[in-house]
């Protein structure tokens, strides 16, 4: 067994970030994922980049190489009757179909959920869209920043006197993709068990609005008390001890210091005498009395140290201080290195690419990171499995169906 | 609409998942129909409910009280906590003192009746308590165990303490977000990695259960939260790997599109997020903002030109948007083919017409907290999904009798002895600690 999902078959009609991340979780962990792409252009992720040398090429886009690992690519023109017929033939063999077209697109293509149910009643169809398949805003266009604005969490992210700031390029879509994947496995299980179809409506807005940390809990806090738990507000000094981001010799560190960890703090920065000094211990919440003294001692310790040194010394005493890694630091981080997390993958046109690796470690069925497909690379192979001879595949190509 | 048994009908999950990641995982699993039993105790506080046995009034009136119903700190406040009651809807609660021989034996018995156990206690805790993988695998070879400590169970940082902020720091996430023109100390704290880990846990349990159908065996699954978050930083990591480039904090900028970002609108804290992914969208934007001349300005004529002059065009848009109502402007822009969204306020989300039409919020009546609107579930399963009204989150130890008597079959006498000996109960002991 290579992965926990060995033997399951996924028909992947998604593109971009969220849908492909959901199906990447299938492909990296053993499922046979057939990725349907538009002839010629393919997945939009092939145009996102980053590209080596900033030279755009559909087989060298970093996001494509990352998100479509382990999938097989088949090009189908769903605007043609032949393309749609081939798609439904593939659906007869699929346990799970995932799509991320704009809401209503499948219906316009005469590929409504009933078509997939007719092709195979034991199939789950997961539909990922910005605002869901129903409702007033179902046709609204969005991207990662816009959907983060619509879900409500952006409002509570940032400084109070200026614009709210996003959570990082594409990050909300990765999160939503993981949420979609968890629901997709449930739907697939139910369809398989009951030999009856299941259709799932995933609205990215809702998946994020209800997510932890500042989504669902903030919404329910408001229902409970009329105030939000987290807002864009002035930084509050929660004690005289350091909490937050601070500069070290070569960058920044992140630290949390609860007052009951004062002894750890003192041991690390070499102020053992403070541990038993009542002037300190009785004023830990009092920033006015001892805040400046604490801060000065903290900086005196921190500023000459690299972030890695500071982290090692602090964590040895159980004080949660971590380096703020930059992308370069991430690749040389000793923890990721020891765990062989990043993996080099060879691609015939993309070259040698280092990708984030397997993040879910199954003891007995580990799965594996395999390279992303070239556009239409598996046309002959996959259509061959449907019984088409290479000659017939060539004819389909000539028609423009694939 | 739902007519079928839920997907995870008949699947029993034991949970000791704390704060954000664990509850997010069990929320999804319970929404999908698993019987989730939160294993708590009256000897130790469940940090998802509270860190303090009594909450001082000064804390209750501040941020620390913002998630307890009416900021009421009277006895039983831990059953009136927003995060717990949100994420644990549909779950059950049993109290067992795993530090005692009796509690441990009862947990093993429970593990024999379970399909999965998920935990994210601090490093070393499950070993100390005797509920580690080797032991549980002997107790029930079909049990799946998912562990998701911040940095994993091996490697130089396995012993590191930390929160979501620490995982994101190591993953490189913190350094690529935040304001572009400020240093990292202004980057807002987030625990984005927690729900991400939780979603992966909910996914992994299901994947391992599918594998079990073929192997007959449970397995140990490990998720290092820090590793899972690196995927979210893929664009910047790959840009470094391919080009040796570090862009730093991106703020609200986009690598390919301008204008782009979050712009102030009329009213108090009203903003619009918008994106201009094409020349046609730019012409539309200029028209809607009443500045058609901008569309002919050669500095902004092409996508590449707009990127080069990003700050100039963003400033011109920022000067124009404050005259507009965010909702009306977004509606106009969408109609004109420009992607846009008004900034939603969480205080108003339950009244949002679109979400109301979709039934995203629904009331749940909780025995201790009362009746409130809750969001969710996160996805709609047409045939086998749960529909409102949802089962409320459990009060502490609410399902002790169900779990111990019905499930494990202990006698009424023994149950009463456990209660009398304060081994189990429905309120924290005075001596309970975090």
- pLDDT tens digit sequence for A1-35: 589 999 999 999 999 999 999 999 999 999 999 99
Picking from B344, B377, B401, the residue at the C-terminal end of a domain is B344
Bridge partner list, B262? B273
B85, B170, B342 member nearest A335 (Cβ): B170
Segments making up each domain of chain A, as ranges: 9-213+340-399, 244-326
Q: Is B231 domain-assigned?
A: no
A134, A326, A330 member nearest B230 (Cβ): A330
Q: How high is the pLDDT of residue A236?
A: 66
- pLDDT tens digit sequence for B153-197: 999 999 999 888 999 999 999 999 999 988 898 898 888 999 999
Q: Could you tell me if A2 lies within 8 Å of chain B, comparing CB atoms?
A: no
Structural domain of B392:
12-223+358-420
| B177/B323 same-domain check | no
Q: Do the Cβ atoms of A165 and B179 come within 8 Å? A: yes
B71, B344, B381 member nearest A155 (Cβ): B344
| B210/B111 same-domain check | yes
Q: Could you tell me if A178 lies within 8 Å of chain B, comparing CB atoms?
A: yes
Q: Could you tell me if A224 lies within 8 Å of chain B, comparing CB atoms?
A: yes
Q: Is B196 domain-assigned?
A: yes
- Measure the CA angle with vertex A181, ends A177 and A111; round to 5°: 90
**CA dihedral over B185, B188, B192, B194, signed as positive or negative:** positive
Task: Name which CATH class applies to A244-326.
Answer: alpha beta
- pLDDT tens digit sequence for B127-157: 999 999 999 999 999 999 999 999 999 999 9
Chain B closest CA to A150's CA: distance in Å? 5
| B416/B332 same-domain check | no
Q: Could you tell me if B52 lies within 8 Å of chain A, comparing CB atoms?
A: no
| B171/B284 same-domain check | no
Return the closest-CA partner of residue A141 out of B381, B178, B333: B333
**CATH number for the domain including B376?**
3.40.50.10540
A21, A155, A315 member nearest B345 (Cβ): A155
| B388/B337 same-domain check | no
pLDDT band at B354 (very low <50, low <70, confident <90, very high): very high
**CATH number for the domain including B286?**
3.30.1540.10
- pLDDT tens digit sequence for A297-312: 999 999 999 999 999 9
Q: How high is the pLDDT of residue B317?
A: 98
Q: Do the Cβ atoms of B339 and A142 come within 8 Å? A: yes
Picking from B303, B320, B344, the residue at the C-terminal end of a domain is B344
Put the strands of the sheet holding A360-362 in their side by side order: A360-362, B220-223, B144-147, B116-119, B12-16, B35-40, B92-95
Picking from B319, B344, B369, the residue at the C-terminal end of a domain is B344
Q: Which of A46, A138, A144, A165 to mutate to test the interface with B (most CBs of B within 10 A)?
A: A165
Q: Is B387 domain-assigned?
A: yes
Give long-range contacts, CB 8 A cutoff, 24+ apart: A397-400.
A399/A80, A399/A82, A400/A39, A400/A77, A400/A80
The values of phi and psi at residue A32, to 5°, are -90, 105
Is pLDDT above 70 for A235?
no
**Could you name the CATH architecture of A9-213+340-399?**
3-Layer(aba) Sandwich (3.40)
Which residues in chain B are closer than 8 Å to A159, comparing Cβ atoms?
179, 186, 188
| B307/B379 same-domain check | no
- Percent of chain A scoring above 70 in pLDDT: 99
| B18/B148 same-domain check | yes
What residues 217-276 of chain B have any CB closer than 8 A to a CB of chain A? 217, 219-224, 226-228, 230-243, 245-246, 248, 250-252, 254-256, 260-264, 269, 271-275
- pLDDT tens digit sequence for A78-106: 999 999 999 999 999 999 999 999 999 99
Which residue of chain A comes nearest to B350, CA vs CA?
A219
C-alpha to C-alpha distance for A160 and A233, rounded to whole angstroms: 5
- pLDDT tens digit sequence for B307-353: 999 999 999 999 999 999 999 999 999 999 999 999 999 999 999 99
Q: Is B83 domain-assigned?
A: yes
How many other CB atoms sit within 10 Å of the CB of residue B384?
26
| B149/B293 same-domain check | no
Q: Is B351 domain-assigned?
A: no
C-alpha to C-alpha distances, A337 to A330, A346, B102, nearest whole angstrom:
9, 19, 42
| B158/B52 same-domain check | yes
| B61/B194 same-domain check | yes
| B144/B73 same-domain check | yes
- pLDDT tens digit sequence for B248-292: 999 999 999 999 999 999 999 999 999 999 999 999 999 999 999
What residues 310-329 of chain A have any CB closer than 8 A to a CB of chain B? 311, 315, 318-320, 322-329
């Amino acid at each position: 067994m290579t992965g926990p999902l060995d033997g399951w078959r996924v028909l992947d009609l998604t593109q971009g970030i969220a849908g492909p991340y959901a199906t990447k979780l299938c492909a990296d962990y053993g499922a046979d994922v057939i990725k349907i792409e538009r002839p010629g252009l393919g997945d939009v992720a092939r145009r996102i980049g980053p590209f080596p040398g900033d030279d755009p090429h559909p087989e060298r886009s970093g996001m494509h190489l990352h998100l479509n690992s382990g999938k097989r690519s088949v090009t189908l023109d769903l605007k043609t009757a032949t393309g749609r017929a081939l798609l439904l033939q593939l659906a007869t063999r699929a346990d799970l179909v995932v799509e991320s077209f704009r809401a209503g697109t499948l219906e316009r293509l005469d590929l409504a959920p009933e078509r997939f149910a007719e092709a195979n009643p034991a199939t789950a169809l997961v539909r990922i869209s910005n605002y869901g398949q129903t409702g007033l805003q179902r046709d609204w266009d969005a991207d990662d920043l816009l959907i983060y604005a619509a879900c409500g969490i952006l409002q509570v992210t940032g400084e109070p006197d200026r614009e709210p700031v996003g959570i990082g390029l594409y990050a909300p879509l990765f999160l939503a993709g993981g949420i979609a994947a968890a629901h997709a496995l449930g739907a697939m299980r139910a369809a398989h068990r009951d030999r009856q179809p299941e259709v799932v409506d995933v609205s990215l807005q809702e998946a994020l609005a209800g997510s932890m940390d500042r989504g669902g809990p903030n919404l329910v806090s408001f229902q409970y008390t009329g105030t939000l738990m987290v807002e864009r507000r002035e930084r509050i000094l929660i004690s005289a001890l350091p909490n937050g981001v601070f500069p070290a010799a070569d960058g920044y560190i992140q630290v949390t210091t609860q007052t009951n960890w004062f002894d750890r703090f003192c041991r690390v920065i070499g102020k053992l005498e403070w541990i038993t000094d009542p002037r300190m211990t009785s004023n830990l919440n009092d920033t006015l009395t001892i805040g400046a003294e604490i801060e000065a001692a903290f900086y005196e310790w921190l500023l000459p140290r690299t972030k890695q040194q500071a982290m090692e010394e602090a964590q040895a005493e159980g004080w949660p201080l971590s380096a703020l890694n930059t992308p370069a630091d991430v690749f040389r981080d000793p923890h990721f290195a020891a765990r062989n997390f990043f993996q080099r993958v060879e691609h015939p046109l993309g070259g040698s690419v280092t990708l984030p690796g397997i993040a879910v470690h199954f003891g007995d069925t580990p799965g594996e990171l395999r390279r992303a497909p070239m556009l239409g690379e598996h046309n002959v192979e996959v259509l061959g499995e449907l019984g088409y001879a290479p000659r017939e595949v060539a004819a389909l190509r000539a028609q423009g169906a694939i | 609409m739902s007519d079928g048994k839920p997907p995870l009908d008949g699947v029993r999950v034991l949970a000791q998942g704390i704060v954000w990641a664990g509850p997010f995982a069990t929320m999804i699993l319970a929404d999908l129909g698993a019987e989730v039993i939160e294993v708590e105790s009256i000897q130790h506080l469940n940090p998802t409910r509270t860190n303090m046995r009594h909450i001082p009034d000064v804390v209750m009136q501040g941020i620390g009280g913002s998630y307890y119903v009416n900021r009421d700190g009277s006895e039983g406040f831990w059953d009136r906590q927003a995060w717990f009651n949100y994420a644990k809807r549909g779950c059950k609660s049993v109290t067992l003192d795993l530090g005692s021989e009796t509690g441990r034996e009862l947990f093993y018995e429970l593990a024999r009746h379970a399909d999965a156990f998920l935990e994210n206690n601090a490093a070393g805790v499950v070993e100390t308590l005797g509920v580690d993988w080797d032991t549980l695998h002997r107790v029930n070879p079909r049990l799946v165990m998912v562990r998701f400590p911040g940095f994993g169970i091996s490697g130089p940082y396995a012993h590191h303490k930390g929160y979501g902020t620490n995982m994101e720091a190591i993953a490189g996430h913190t350094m690529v977000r935040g304001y572009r023109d400020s240093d990292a100390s202004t980057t807002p704290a987030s625990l984005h990695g927690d729900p991400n880990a939780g979603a992966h846990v909910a996914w992994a349990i299901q994947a391992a259960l599918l594998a079990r159908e073929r192997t007959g065996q449970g397995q140990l699954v490990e998720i290092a939260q820090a590793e899972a978050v690196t995927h979210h930083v893929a664009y910047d990591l790959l840009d470094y790997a391919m080009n040796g480039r570090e862009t730093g904090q991106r703020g609200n900028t986009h690598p390919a599109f301008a204008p782009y970002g979050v712009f102030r609108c009329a009213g108090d804290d009203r903003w619009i997020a918008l994106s201009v992914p094409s020349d046609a969208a730019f012409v539309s934007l200029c028209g809607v903002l009443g500045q058609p001349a901008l569309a002919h300005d050669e500095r902004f004529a092409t996508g590449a030109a707009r990127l080069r002059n990003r700050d100039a065009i963003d400033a011109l848009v920022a000067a124009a948007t404050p005259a507009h109502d965010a909702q009306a402007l977004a509606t106009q822009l969408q109609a004109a083919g420009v992607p846009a969204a008004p900034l939603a306020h969480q205080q108003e989300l339950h009244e949002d017409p679109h979400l109301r039409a979709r039934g995203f919020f629904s009331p749940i009546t909780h025995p201790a907290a009362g009746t409130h609107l809750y969001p969710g579930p996160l996805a709609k399963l047409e045939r086998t999904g749960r529909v409102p009204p949802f089962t409320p989150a459990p009060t502490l130890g609410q399902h002790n009798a169900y779990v111990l008597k019905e499930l494990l079959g202990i006698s009424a006498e023994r149950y009463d002895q456990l209660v009398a000996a304060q081994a189990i109960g429905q309120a924290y002991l005075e001596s309970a600690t975090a």
